[in-house]
Amino acid sequence: MPITSDITLDISKFRPENVTESTKKAAALLENIITKGPRWWEVGIEKYREMREHGQRPLPKPVYLPETLDGTVPSRDAAREISIRIYKPDNGQPSEGIFLHPDSTLREYANKCQLTAISVGYPLAPEHPYPAAVHDAIDAAEYIVDHAVEVYGAPPPPPPLRFLGGESAGACLAALSALQLMRSRPSYKLSGLLLPYGLFDLALGLLGRKNPCVSPLYENLQALIAASSTGSLPPALFLRATEDPLLDNTMLMSSKWSIAGGEAIVKIYPGATHGFTAFSGLPVADEANAVTLNSCRRN
């Protein structure tokens, strides 16, 4: 009698013959851009950020939507506030909830999912080392949970803050914020987490590896669930590219999520690289972004 594995994986996602030509060209272009572009440790971080703002790096400069409203939320630090940007649906109809997401795709989520999309301007390393970004992400999430209805016009129950998301390090901040909400507001339940190519293990040594406030991969999820009145983790969508060096982070984190009883949907994209969803118009990116939007609508 043959022995069958208790864990299955769609191996076809990792076959070279299943990588499309457009994905191969995009990966080669990105590698060329990164190789020939300026390095922050050579030009200095201040100059590097200035070059980014003015489009002087090979990648496109940031997009700031003029329709977005600027705002602030209180910080745990005295006499300091956290900047946020708010995008409400263009159709003027009432928002169906809030999506906290740190990137420039606010308009997509606002209009296609009828959500108020909020981006948190968390401080960046190396100027602001850990735990600055984590604290600001958590502070913003907790404030929005407590004040979403009266401050942002979110609908009353079901919970107004419905989704948390972010790419790469932003996915780590979203996961850490969601887990902190389970600790600080155990009766609150998110509709979902959207975690493309996340970095969930930031350990540089044994101490960091054991600290779930640094690396959500090492959180005791079962203990959090036991202490929560909701009795479960929020559903989580994990997107990963086969050419992403952080592929194992998603495989481990999503497995842990499932083992703890949470819904973990993992989508794998052959031949794509880290950050691939930012390249609108690339078929593999458009496919992944459509999955993300559908996840919001489904939940």
CATH number at residue 70: 3.40.50.1820
Phi-psi region of 178 (alpha: psi -120 to 50; beta: other; left: phi over 0): alpha
Q: 284 lies in a domain?
A: yes
For residue range 273-285, list pLDDT tens digits in order. Answer: 998 998 888 999 9
Give the pLDDT confidence score for residue 52 in this predicted structure. 87
Q: What secondary structure letter does DSSP report for 251?
A: H
Question: Among the residues of 85-205, which ranges form H helices?
Answer: 106-113, 132-152, 169-184
For residue range 46-57, list pLDDT tens digits in order. Answer: 999 999 888 888
Q: What is the pTM of this model?
A: 0.92
Q: What secondary structure letter does DSSP report for 90?
A: T
Q: What is the mean pLDDT of residues 113-127?
A: 90
Q: 26 lies in a domain?
A: no
Q: 193 lies in a domain?
A: yes
Q: 142 lies in a domain?
A: yes
Q: 44 lies in a domain?
A: no
How many domains, the chain?
1
Cα 17 to Cα 12, 14, 275: the distances in Å are 9, 9, 22
Range of the domain at 127: 65-298
Q: 17 lies in a domain?
A: no
For residue range 231-253, list pLDDT tens digits in order. Answer: 999 999 999 999 999 999 999 99
Give the 3-state secondary structure percentages of the chain, helix then strand then coil, rounded to 5: 40, 15, 45
Q: 158 lies in a domain?
A: yes
Q: 28 lies in a domain?
A: no
User: What is the Cα Rg of the chain in Å?
Assistant: 19
For residue range 221-233, list pLDDT tens digits in order. Answer: 999 999 998 899 9
Give the pLDDT confidence score for residue 56 in this predicted structure. 84
Q: Which two tokens stand for residue 59?
A: 């990648």
Q: Where does the pLDDT of residue 158 fall: very low under 50, low under 70, confident under 90, or very high at 90 and above?
A: low
Q: Does residue 269 have a pLDDT over 70?
A: yes
